[in-house]
Every structure is written in structure tokens, then in C-alpha cells.
Amino acid sequence: MKNYIYKLLIISTLFVLISSCELEYFPESSMSEDVYYSNTQEITTGLIACYNGLMGVVKEEWRFSELRSDNAHLESVSSSDANNEELRRLDHMTATAQDKFIFDFCWVPSYKVISRCNTILAKIDNVADPDTKAKIKSELLFIRSMMYFNLTRLFGEVWLVTEPITGEQALEMSKSSVDAIYAKIIEDLEYAASAAGKLPYPTFTTTANVTKQPTSEVGRATVYAAKALLAKVYLTRKNYAGVKANLQPIVQDYGTSGMVAFNLIFSTSNEMNKEILFAVRFKAGGLGIGAPFVNYFAARNSSSTIVVGNGMGYNTPTEGLTDRFGNVTTWSTTSGGTPIDPIATVRNLTDKRNAVTVSFFNNNVWWTSKFWESPTAVLLLNDAETDWPVIRYADVLLMYAEALNSGADNDQNGARNYVNAVRTRAGLPALDVASTSTKTTMHTAILAERRLELAFENHRYFDMLREGNQYVVSTLNTQFTTENFYRSYTQGRGPSTISESNILLPIPLNMEKLY
């Protein structure tokens, strides 16, 4: 499948062009859409280009989500180069509108994907077969909805563009309200997740008399991917009935037994397994579409001990997370008691996720190993085969548990069963009934399980946001003042107390200058 998509990418990049000068602010279709995208084959090449665009988004998404949560920090406390300074501001929740990372690595890639989707959607009537037309439309709506879902969670109000526009038209637009953006996301995903949307079922389904996704299309959206994404949107909006309605068919189909072993979920020899409902696919081999995550997250100054080309030390696990896994880390200190560096750890590997998710290098630094396989698995810098999981089945189970617990069902027993399915795979005992017998205590248990199960998959910050602004502020301020890493900052370079005004990312200055 990856080779098939790569061939299509070569074709699609010849025809999907976006005006670079205009896109720096808004996406604008500039080329010959009037003569291209005139049939199903050409529309399909454009669709593949939309999937291709997701690589540019997810390979940097950790900067704006996981790094800003209580799961991760920037490894270096001393480097003052511009790259680390911008990352430090993201880590400390003090990013500014002038920071290039926000514009270059979040805003522009996201709106490029949106632009590509809008361009193809405008030509969707050129697909002759009605079922194929509905399916491609659903895929485009799914991709575009992913972009707007992340943009509105990160920035709040943004510009809602749903058709090809010119630069002049862009200047006439105003930002849309968060409610309006969510209404459009839900409308689009409701169509994609419905029978009318004609998305196929995943190959692992046991549902009878349905159309399964062909092998050549594995990696593209399925009806379960659309339902799961819609459920996540509904969970964010606290519409628990909507969550349950969309996840129940998946849970009834896949069940809770025979789940993929945790250490095999992310293996490049086991890609697109039953656990993966949707992933952004990467391919190694010097093709320009390899994944950078192993190099990004490996310990800094590790040479090629961990991965060819050295590690960057980005997205380093926090003490709060490594402690939650059961590890105990010892730090060296100054004579006055100020932390300097971690020097040893005692690991508790009862939780099978611990050994996969985090590692301790050279007795002095934690690093994120979730997407790492071996020192020889990556042959070129930033060129791993590793796919990026967007929606996993464990996420589905935990969202379903949350809906059962927090919604009208008020069903702690049912919720506990689905959390326990995740814990059983991790090698952990079932949740204690007495300590998870109320809506509040069960919710706390679900949130804690999500933190460990989905660590470094860019869910934690958004989970924190769902708990409310005060939760984000309180959690991060506590971390900044108590964790050894943040206390080891000197010369006033450490984080300051944050408030609710620090939560949303600032709209890039390049955009605000226009209005």
C-alpha cells in the first residue's frame, strides 16, 4: 500500500499546486483546476495529495500539543539557539505571535491541507459513479475536519474556509466562532460516518454484508475512523450520547479480547494492525516522506547509540509521567539542594507500557522511545518508516468508558470493564471497585489511564483542555514549581506562573497584520 500511495504522490504533486505567496496567509488554488480534476482518476490523485499533506502536519504537531502538556518538556535547559528558545516558550506556555514555529509548522501546513481538500471538493461532481463520489467526498471531509478540530482546539477562533478562495476574498473574511467551527466539523463528520458517506469498513471487521476496505486503500479513512473522530469531537463538546452512538458499533464489533500486544502496536513490521483505526503513513528510503520522530525524541548527544544521526531531545518525558509508570529517579543536587541532573533510576516494569514508552539513556536522561525499534532500524536522519497513530482502539475504549460514566447512563460498572480491558493488556490488575464507584472517581481513573496509554500520541494536552482551563493552569503551575527538571533552570530561565490567557496559541502575527 505504501508503494502504491508513493506512486500516486508523484503524480498528484504535479497537479496540486498552491500559490506560495498567498498561502503564507490563506490557502488559494492557483493553477489549472478548470482543466484538471475532470474525472475520477484525477480526483483520486488530488485526494492522495490531501493525505500526503497530513505528514507535514503531524510530524510537528507534538510541539503544540504534547510538549505543552504535563507529559513532556524540552530536554535542554541551557541551549539558547533560536530553535530551542522557541520550543522552550512552547514548553513554558509563553509562545508569542512572532514565533515562526506556530506559523511554519502548524498554521501553514494545516491550511495547505484544507486548501487541497477544498479544491477537490469543488470538483467532486466530476466523479461519475455516485458511490465513489460519496466515498471520496467523505474522505476529504474527514481530512478537513481533522485540521479544523486541531486548529480550533489550539487557537480558538480561526478562519473557516470551506471552498477555494482568492487572496482578495481572504482579506474580506472574518474569524469564525468556535461554535460555528464545531458545527461545521460535526456536520461534515456526520455525513462521512453515515451510510450515505459510503466509507468502507476496516479489513478487521466481523460485521456481515458490508464493504471492506481493499488492500490497496489501507491507510485511508474508513467508516470506523470517521465515527471515532466524530466521537472525539462530541467528547470535547461533552455530548456523551453522541460519543456512545458512534463508538458502540466499533466496540461491539472489535470487543475487548484479542487486543494487539502493546509492544507490537507501533512496530514497522506490524503496520496498520487492528489497533490502528487511522494513522498518517510515512515511508523510509530517502524518498522525502520518512518520519522524523525517532530522531526528534531520542536523547540529545546520544550520537548513533540510539538512532543514526543523533537525537534531538525533544518531547522528553516529565518526572510526573515516568513516576506514574512506577519509575523512581534520583537527581544530583547542588550543596544548596537545587537539582542538577538525573543520575539513576529504578524501573518498575509491571506496566508493560513503561518499557515501550520511555527509556533512560546513559544514566542521566529520560527519552521517548515509543516509536523506536532498534539502533539500526533507521538508516537516514529523520527517515523512519514509523507511521503516526491518530486514532487507536484503546482510545475508542477509553472514550466509550468516559461516555458511559459521564453521560446519562452514569454506568461506572460498564465504564470500568472497558478501562480494565486496556489495563489487562498492560499487565495491570483491574480497577478497584470501591475506589471507582462514583462518577468523579471513575472519571479520574479514566483520565489517568488515558495519560499512560496514549502518552506521546498528542492526546494529553487536549485531554487536559477538556478538564477545563483551571485544570490546565493548576496542573502546569504545580509541575513548574515542583518537578526537578524545571527547578534545575538557572539565571531566571525557568518557567513563570501561567494563567488562562496562556492556554490558547496566539494567532500568528503574519495573519493578524492583515486585519
Mean pLDDT lowest among 16-20, 37-41, 214-218, 319-323: 16-20
Average pLDDT (264-279) is 97
Read off the pLDDT of residues 21-69 as tens digits, 9 standing for 90 and up: 333 344 444 445 667 899 999 999 999 999 999 999 999 999 999 999 9
**How far is 101 from 342, CA to CA, in rounded Å?**
29
**How far is 213 from 204, CA to CA, in rounded Å?**
9
Kindly state the percentage of the chain with pLDDT values over 70: 92
Q: Where are the alpha helices (DSSP H) in 255-351?
A: 262-265, 293-297, 319-324
Q: What is the pLDDT of residue 6?
A: 44
CA angle 73–54–150, rounded 5-degree value? 60
**How far is 451 from 398, CA to CA, in rounded Å?**
11
Pairing state between β 365-368 and 358-361: antiparallel
Q: What share of the chain is helix, strand, coil (3-state, %, to 5)?
A: 50, 10, 40
Across-strand partners of 339? 333
Lookup result for grid cell 507529559:
71
In one-letter notation, the amino acid at residue 35 is: V
Pairing state between β 388-392 and 365-368: unpaired
**How far is 246 from 244, CA to CA, in rounded Å?**
6
Average pLDDT (267-271) is 97
Question: C-alpha 257: how far from its chain's center?
Answer: 26
Lookup result for grid cell 486548529:
151
The sign one gets for the Cα dihedral 364, 369, 374, 380 is negative
* C-beta of residue 129 within 8 angstroms of C-beta of residue 162: no
* C-beta of residue 498 within 8 angstroms of C-beta of residue 476: yes
Phi first, then psi: give them for residue 335, nearest 5 degrees: -60, -25
Average pLDDT (291-313) is 95
**How far is 432 from 424, CA to CA, in rounded Å?**
13
> How far is the CA of 276 from the CAs of 67, 161, 203, 378, 389, in angstroms?
23, 30, 11, 22, 7
CA angle 188–192–194, rounded 5-degree value? 115
**How far is 423 from 449, CA to CA, in rounded Å?**
8
Q: How confident is the model at residue 83 (pLDDT cuts 50, 70, 90)?
A: confident
Lookup result for grid cell 487557537:
155
Q: Is the predicted pLDDT of residue 167 greater than 90, yes or no?
A: no
The sign one gets for the Cα dihedral 340, 345, 348, 353 is positive
For residue 349, the tally of other CB atoms under 10 A from its CB is: 13
Average pLDDT (169-183) is 94
- Our separate counts of H helices and E strands in the chain read 22, 8
With residue 61 as reference, give the H or E element that holds it. Answer: helix 40-61
In angstroms, the first-to-last Cα distance of the chain is 44
**How far is 251 from 207, CA to CA, in rounded Å?**
12
Read off the pLDDT of residues 108-163 as tens digits, 9 standing for 90 and up: 999 999 999 999 999 999 999 999 999 999 999 999 999 999 999 999 999 999 99
Lookup result for grid cell 471520496:
136
